Amino acid sequence: MARKVDLCRLLVAAVAACLAATTVRAGWQRGSATFYGGANAAGTMGGACGYGNLYSAGYGTDTAALSLAMFNGGAACGECYQVKCDQQNSRWCKPGVTVTVTATNLCPADYSQPSNDGGWCNPPRQHFDMSQPSWEKIGVYSGGIVPVFYQRVSCSRTGGVRFTINGNRYFKLVLIFNVAGPGSISAVQIKGSSTGWITMSRNWGANWQANSDLTRQSISFRVTATNGRFLEFYNVAGSNWQLGQTFTNGQNFY
């Protein structure tokens, strides 16, 4: 009788474990994660999205470089992902911990290495090269690389969407950052107080370009997020704006 009870307990435990594993995976995708940038994340500053200093840009150290398949030519810049270590498949996991990271960089492919041994960022891998501080929230340093579950989540930001205007008199290169909600944007238009709406194109990362002379005009933007919602930022930069300045009017995709 005792043996039957023990077998029943084992069966119940196995079923519970299977249900728990299914729950963990529901709504999540499989990927992998490594880390870069040093213990203070100094090496993560800059990057292929163009955000520069990630502290002043509002992203801090909970960031990641995405593999080529995830980066999508810069369209994923600013997106947020919740990541947890797959503890059933790695002894280097810290169990029960998740971390939310912002996509701020590209992890370049290395076609000289196989995708399962060094070429972690090669297509079609879903891979996060996380800042060391964020990776160490879910993994043990000695592991180096761990299997993970991840899902895209809404981004929480402080303050409004920010616009840094660069370029020259006839060419505008605008960095758009601190985007809440979906975090990433799919379309941008720019308008001077004496022009109509001008469609911009992605130059690189989170930088958008347009050929336009907006000298001594106030500037407005129409931004469409990747969830389809759009906001209009009227006269976000006054007519006395200068190249290199950053502007916001407090609106965001909350």
Residues 104 and 66 in one domain: yes
Residues 87 and 172 in one domain: no
- pLDDT (0 to 100) of residue 5: 42
φ and ψ at residue 74, rounded to 5 degrees:
100, -10
Residue where one domain finishes, among candidates 94, 128, 153: 153
Q: Is residue 95 part of a domain?
A: yes
Residues 49 and 130 in one domain: yes
Q: What is the 3-state secondary structure (H, E, C) of 8-76?
A: HHHHHHHHHHHHHHHHHHCCCEEEEEEEECCCCCHHHCCCCCCCCCCCCCCCCCCEEEECHHHHHHHCC
Q: What is the pLDDT of residues 232-243, one digit of tens each?
A: 999 999 999 999
The answer to whether the CB of 52 falls within 8 A of the CB of 45 is yes
Q: Is residue 189 part of a domain?
A: yes
Lowest-confidence range among 6-10, 66-70, 103-107? Answer: 6-10
Decide if pLDDT at 143 tops 90: yes
- What average pLDDT does the structure give for the chain? 91
Sign (positive/negative) of CA torsion 129, 131, 132, 133?
Answer: negative
- pLDDT (0 to 100) of residue 118: 86
Residue where one domain finishes, among candidates 122, 153, 184: 153
Q: Is residue 4 part of a domain?
A: no
- pLDDT (0 to 100) of residue 115: 87
Residues 137 and 47 in one domain: yes
Strand partners, 32: 127, 147
Q: Is residue 210 part of a domain?
A: yes
Tell me the percentage of the chain whose pLDDT exceeds 70: 90
**How far is residue 242's CA from residue 128's CA, in Å, rounded to a whole number?**
37
Q: Is residue 15 part of a domain?
A: no
Hey, what are 178's tokens?
């601190």
Q: Is residue 35 part of a domain?
A: yes
Residues 146 and 200 in one domain: no
**How far is residue 109's CA from residue 230's CA, in Å, rounded to a whole number?**
33
pTM here? 0.88
When pLDDT is cut at 50, 70 and 90, the band that residue 12 belongs to is very low
Q: Is residue 5 part of a domain?
A: no
Q: What is the pLDDT of residues 81-133, one digit of tens each?
A: 999 999 999 999 999 999 999 999 999 999 999 888 889 999 999 999 999 99
* Amino acid identity for residue 76 in this structure: A
What CATH number is associated with residue 180? 2.60.40.760
Residues 197 and 87 in one domain: no
**How far is residue 231's CA from residue 254's CA, in Å, rounded to a whole number?**
11
Residues 138 and 201 in one domain: no
Domains held by the chain: number: 2
Strands 230-237 and 29-36: unpaired
Residues 65 and 123 in one domain: yes
Instruction: Give the CA radius of gyration of the chain.
Output: 22
Residues 96 and 139 in one domain: yes
When pLDDT is cut at 50, 70 and 90, the band that residue 27 belongs to is confident
The secondary structure of 205-233 as a DSSP string is TTEEEEE---TT--EEEEEEETTS-EEEE
**How far is residue 222's CA from residue 210's CA, in Å, rounded to a whole number?**
13
When pLDDT is cut at 50, 70 and 90, the band that residue 21 belongs to is very low
**Mean pLDDT, range 56-84, rounded to an integer:** 97
- pLDDT (0 to 100) of residue 17: 41
Residue where one domain finishes, among candidates 132, 153, 174: 153
When pLDDT is cut at 50, 70 and 90, the band that residue 25 belongs to is low
- pLDDT (0 to 100) of residue 6: 47
- pLDDT (0 to 100) of residue 26: 67
Q: Is residue 8 part of a domain?
A: no
Q: What is the pLDDT of residues 160-210, one digit of tens each?
A: 999 999 999 999 999 999 999 999 999 999 999 999 999 999 999 999 999
In terms of average pLDDT, the best of 6-10, 18-22, 181-185 is 181-185
What CATH number is associated with residue 113? 2.40.40.10
Domain that holds residue 144: 29-153
Decide if pLDDT at 79 tops 70: yes
**Mean pLDDT, range 1-18, rounded to an integer:** 43
